[in-house]
Amino acid sequence: MHKAVLVAAVLIATVACVVTGATTSPAQESQAKLMAERLDRAYDALESVPQARAEDVELWITEVSPFFSYEELDPVAGYMGHDFVTVYWELFNTGTEFNHIAGYTYCEGAVALNARMVKKLSTWYTKDIFLGTLIHEAIHNIGGVYCSLDSREAESRTQLGMLEVLAAMANQGNLQALKALVGELRDVASNTYEYELLKADKKAEFIKWYTTVLNPGDAFAEAKLMKSYRFWASDWATLIGILDRYSNFVFQDMADFKYDGWQNVSIAELENFTVKMDDVKYLLDHLEELVESATESPQ
């Protein structure tokens, strides 16, 4: 079973990006930290852009699936056409799943999403985790590298594919995809920074940055972060492993804007393939101007 796990900074944060070294001088500043701050500014500027509605899940799956072959995540679909996964909402019956699992799949054509996303009284109803989670779980169903028994490989490649699909949609002018992507990339970056600081036993440094730079004056952001740390206090290794698998490894692999995959097919030329993340690269190269155009567009 593959699950989109929500952990770390806000109990329902998605994924993150990379950290290298201390933060005592500009030359030593973490690239993940700098990227998170840049993306956070962009996300704040997109405040007027509406989030993708979880209630529109059936429409969204028909919109995103063709991009799996168009962006060459799924080379087989380029020959045989794409499939649409079946999506259903699940009310999780344990507190841990209820608060930490955004969705899961067995890679057999069906995706379960946490029903909190469609409950108007839930705090998850206003979080922009829906679209990234839907795409992530649908990509698992391509199989091959995306459903590998190696969880670190499967999750990182699936995350990278999700980012490229969102970027491709955003570059075509889909403002909801743009907002979702900026949020996902920001979380990838901030979670990677968290990963590096936790590994270096610098939790207090991350708390200060998260509460004073990324979320200044937001008492609820701080409350969620501190709840997260109380929850993981007896199992830091699991938290760090999740941050590595869903974020740090993703950030490292994204550095050259491509990733390698493999597929379980008999056609030799399709068994190994490389996905170019050219849309993610373009979007990051032109982030500020795209955000400016998005905020000037009629909603």
Question: In the chain, where does DSSP find H-type helix?
Answer: 31-45, 57-64, 66-70, 77-80, 95-100, 130-140, 151-171, 175-199, 203-209, 219-231, 236-243, 249-254, 278-285, 287-296
Q: What SS3 class is residue 91?
A: coil
Determine contact, residues 179/128, Cβ cutoff 8 Å. yes
Residue 148's contacts (CB-CB under 8 Å, 6 or more residues apart) are 154, 157
Determine contact, residues 53/180, Cβ cutoff 8 Å. no
* pTM exceeds cut of 0.75: yes
Residue 10 confidence (pLDDT): 30
Residue 296 confidence (pLDDT): 87
At residue 150, what are phi and psi to the nearest 5 degrees? -80, 100
Residue type at position 83: D
Query: Using the 8-state DSSP alphabet, how is residue 272 labeled?
Result: E
Instruction: Say if strands 86-90 and 110-114 run parallel, antiparallel, or are unpaired.
Output: parallel
In terms of phi and psi (left: phi > 0; alpha: psi -120 to 50; beta: otherwise), the region of 122 is beta
Residue 17 confidence (pLDDT): 29
Residue 199 confidence (pLDDT): 96
Torsion angle defined by CA atoms of residues 64, 259, 35 and 13, in that order, rounded to the nearest 10 degrees: 50
Tell me the C-alpha distance between 299 and 294, whole Å: 9
pLDDT tens digits, 180-217: 999 999 999 999 999 999 999 999 999 999 999 999 99
pLDDT grade, residue 1 (50/70/90)? low
Q: Is the pLDDT of residue 247 over 80?
A: yes
Tell me the C-alpha distance between 145 and 83, whole Å: 17
Tell me the C-alpha distance between 33 and 191, whole Å: 9
pLDDT grade, residue 226 (50/70/90)? very high
